[in-house]
Chain A
Amino acid sequence: MVNAREAAVGSGGRARASYRRRDKYVRFILPAVLVISAVIIFPWLFTLFMSLHDWQVASPRVFVGLDNYLNLVGDTRFRAAVGRTLIYAALAVALPTVIGTIAAVLFHRDFPLRGLLRSIYILPMVATPVAIALVWTMMFHPQLGVLNYLLSLVGLPPSLWVYSPQTVIPSLVLVETWQWTPLVMLIVLGGLSALPTEPLESAAIDGANSWQVFRDITLPMVLPFIMVAVVLRTIDALKAFDTIFTITQGGPGTASETINIYLYLQAFSFFRIGHASAVVVVFFVIIVAFSLTLLGVRQRMQWA
């Protein structure tokens, strides 16, 4: 009976059966495809579409090809925003990475109340960025803020913090560092806990001092974890918006106007939808390029 059935189905029947199986699989993945199309692919295609138009709210839409992109090349305010974003991101990645790694090494050691202190250390990370930004805004106030009071206690002159074009970026990096160093610490601490102890023990037997152990053994072994933190921090720092917008709105003047703040103004203050969409596309390309480069570097650093 089986043979008769096989004969009846034949090779074409097998193909149809396989198609039917595929058909079943398609049904399973269809919801995911639909959701991804709706929430990721469609918005992306629509952003690309908008970026090719001169489109201002309450005005007709006009196709302009690549004009929005060409305008960006000549836009000094946009170019300055790109430069500022890179400087801000470099500082906001480097400082938390260095301080976070040092903190992880310290918290990896055994000492009384370590668990409690670790918990306190990660508190900034769990707070709401806008709430934090508002508190920092008050602390930065040149006349009424607590930071200048603290400076006066140690005999230092007051600073203008976020109210001066010269000090605004370092001041914003201070907030970012305060908030995100714990994240780096947690990732690196996880890496340190996973390290084998044998190399450290043999180094101790060989008479290496603690700096040599850290530089030549711990650091190279934990580097892949630090790179994970660097990738995450880089993406976050490039995208930083909430704290900057809440504290300075890009000011004084344009002294802290990063790409995101520039983009926000174009899209939601000036309602230049086409122009803003072109900025989104360029910004996306920048973030993807950075992420891929860093992931490539990390790939080469795998020790296991």
Chain B
Amino acid sequence: MSIRRRPGYSRRDVIRAGAAAIAASSAVAGSSRWPALAQSTPEATPSNFNWKKYEGETIDVLLSLSPRSDILTKYQPEFEELTGIKVNADVVPEQQQRQKQVIEFTSGNPSFDVTEESWHVQKGLFGQGKFLLDLRDFLNDPEMTSPDYDFADFSAAAVAFATQPDGRIDTLPYNIDYWILYWNKELFDQKGVAFPKTFDEMLEAAKTLNDPANGVYGFVARGLKNANTPVWTSFMQGWDAKPVDDQGQLHTTEEPAVAAATLYQSLLANYAPPGVNGFNWNECQTTFGQGTAAMWFDGIGFATPLEDPSKSKVVGKVGYGLQPAGPVAQHSGTFGDGMGVSAQSSKPGPAYFYCQWATNKQNQARNLAAGAGASGRVSVYSDPAALENLTVPQEWVDTLIASGKIGLPSLPQIIPVTEFRDIFGIALTNMISGADPKQELESATEQFRPILEKSLGS
């Protein structure tokens, strides 16, 4: 039996249209980018939004394994109860997750409705292939976006990261990663060394603290090809330089690039543990966590394991400091991830509800409290609930907030970013073994230039 609707408008339709008109007029009048969302309150839109709208539906979610996905899967029953939507979450390691995404998107029939987009690796490719749905219509629709979602709460940097060059917003900011300098306070105190505020001081501190005879190394960072490229590009920021500018020109053989590579070589070839050229973040974490490295330069998300007595010997001794300043500028290498809806999903509505829930204030506060990641939301850092539940030192939060003020994307936002990381990563690894930085950068640039040009031409 089916119910045929009468032509014309019901009373509910009229109320809905009126509410939408109010929201739209405030959007025009307001000066903020998302005033309609910012100003909408539960009182203003009493009946427009309903979490139970898609009750009974089932969605598939593909996440990469991280402390953040642990939190999402832990609290998933909360979402299911709130919405009545059943979630099948598939959590796989990052490398496999990225391959699975691209292969399935290309096949035209992905097995998931919701997934993450790593902005620093996948933004260009996902944007070009239009793999994810443009969420602007949903964000502007009071029936689809919860009044308390508050998109305006996201920082301008996070929104810029989530926005494609053509203006499409295909992800909601889910996690921001700033690079910081972890330092072992005990080792620093023993030798009376102060926390380095500049690259020169960092090099000097590494030299002073390096004591291989006693199993202590001055510095550790990623030496494994591909994984190591962000170390170099973040160092480049100290010269206020980018490897690829906004016009797609390479600046990888110029003085700042060579100087940053020389700094990388000096630190890793002289003051890092032997075999560092095969170290990814996990080997670095083990080295630093065992108390055998005085400094470690990497993403901010490692406070949890470093403060966990079952995984770390340096609990309570770790300092969390800003990326030191270079001769020209001080920035913090910034990376991030967003959560989006597959463009081919047959359930975009329920999938968007999940994205919204995953990036809401409460879940972002949970990430912060657990030290699992930084949020693109401004309010989270003053959220008493998040700060009261902190399982990591306050110094970590302070460094996080300070990094946010000087954050700058570290990797170029180009399509062949994986080739960029691979080719320059090999050059950097070779430098650890003694190769000349300038020559290695020139050869890598020659190798990468045609790949970049081809991607820009396509």
Asked whether any CB of chain A lies closer than 8 Å to the CB of B411, the reply is: no
Nearest B-chain residue to A158, judged by Cβ: B274
Tell me which of B226, B275, B276, B433 has the highest count of chain A C-beta atoms within 10 A of its own C-beta.
B275
Nearest B-chain residue to A268, judged by Cβ: B99
Pick the residue among B105, B128, B286 that contacts A59 (CB under 8 A).
B128
In the complex, how many angstroms separate the beta carbon of A66 from the nearest chain B beta carbon? Answer: 19
Evaluate whether A163 and B275 lie within 8 angstroms (CB atoms) in the complex, with A143-B292, A252-B433, A265-B422 already known. yes
Interface pair B102/A271, CB less than 8 Å apart: yes
Within the assembled complex, what's the spacing in Å between the Cα atoms of A60 and B426? 29
B270 / chain A contacts, CB cutoff of 8 Å: none
B458 / chain A contacts, CB cutoff of 8 Å: 56, 59-60
Interface pair A164/B275, CB less than 8 Å apart: yes
Within the assembled complex, what's the spacing in Å between the Cα atoms of A250 and B432? 16
Interface pair A249/B125, CB less than 8 Å apart: no
A248 / chain B contacts, CB cutoff of 8 Å: 278
Within the assembled complex, what's the spacing in Å between the Cα atoms of A56 and B455? 10
Interface pair A269/B125, CB less than 8 Å apart: no
Asked whether any CB of chain B lies closer than 8 Å to the CB of A58, the reply is: yes
A163 / chain B contacts, CB cutoff of 8 Å: 274-278
SS of B interface (majority) = helix
Asked whether any CB of chain A lies closer than 8 Å to the CB of B225, the reply is: yes
Asked whether any CB of chain A lies closer than 8 Å to the CB of B196, the reply is: no
B426 / chain A contacts, CB cutoff of 8 Å: 253-254
Interface pair B278/A251, CB less than 8 Å apart: yes
Interface pair A270/B274, CB less than 8 Å apart: no
Within the assembled complex, what's the spacing in Å between the Cα atoms of A253 and B440? 12
Within the assembled complex, what's the spacing in Å between the Cα atoms of A165 and B430? 9
Evaluate whether A58 and B225 lie within 8 angstroms (CB atoms) in the complex, with A251-B277, A251-B278 already known. no
Asked whether any CB of chain A lies closer than 8 Å to the CB of B106, the reply is: yes
Interface pair A253/B102, CB less than 8 Å apart: no
Within the assembled complex, what's the spacing in Å between the Cα atoms of A142 and B224? 15
B215 / chain A contacts, CB cutoff of 8 Å: 143
Number of A-B contacts (CB under 8 A): 82
Nearest B-chain residue to A161, judged by Cβ: B275
Using C-beta atoms within 8 Å of the partner chain, give the interface range for chain A.
20 to 34
B276 / chain A contacts, CB cutoff of 8 Å: 163
In the complex, how many angstroms separate the beta carbon of A70 from the nearest chain B beta carbon? Answer: 15
Asked whether any CB of chain B lies closer than 8 Å to the CB of A50, the reply is: no
Pick the residue among A160, A251, A254, A271 that contacts B274 (CB under 8 A).
A160
Evaluate whether A252 and B225 lie within 8 angstroms (CB atoms) in the complex, with A57-B106, A270-B416 already known. yes
A254 / chain B contacts, CB cutoff of 8 Å: 225, 426
Nearest B-chain residue to A164, judged by Cβ: B275
Interface pair B290/A253, CB less than 8 Å apart: no
Asked whether any CB of chain A lies closer than 8 Å to the CB of B418, the reply is: yes
Pick the residue among B105, B273, B277, B287 that contacts A252 (CB under 8 A).
B277
The proximity string for A residues 90-132 relative to B, scoring 1 for CB distances below 8 Å and 0 otherwise, is 0000000000000000000000000000000000000000000
In the complex, how many angstroms separate the beta carbon of A82 from the nearest chain B beta carbon? Answer: 18
Interface pair A269/B287, CB less than 8 Å apart: no
Within the assembled complex, what's the spacing in Å between the Cα atoms of A252 and B292? 22
Within the assembled complex, what's the spacing in Å between the Cα atoms of A1 and B278? 88
The proximity string for B residues 100-134 relative to A, scoring 1 for CB distances below 8 Å and 0 otherwise, is 00110110000000000000000001001101000
Asked whether any CB of chain A lies closer than 8 Å to the CB of B419, the reply is: yes
Interface pair B99/A58, CB less than 8 Å apart: no
Interface pair A57/B273, CB less than 8 Å apart: no
Listed by A's residue number, 28 A-B pairs whose Cβ atoms lie within 8 Å are A56-B458, A57-B106, A57-B125, A57-B129, A58-B106, A58-B125, A58-B128, A58-B129, A141-B275, A142-B274, A142-B275, A143-B274, A143-B287, A144-B286, A160-B274, A162-B278, A163-B278, A165-B277, A248-B278, A251-B224, A251-B277, A252-B224, A252-B432, A253-B277, A268-B99, A269-B418, A271-B102, A271-B106
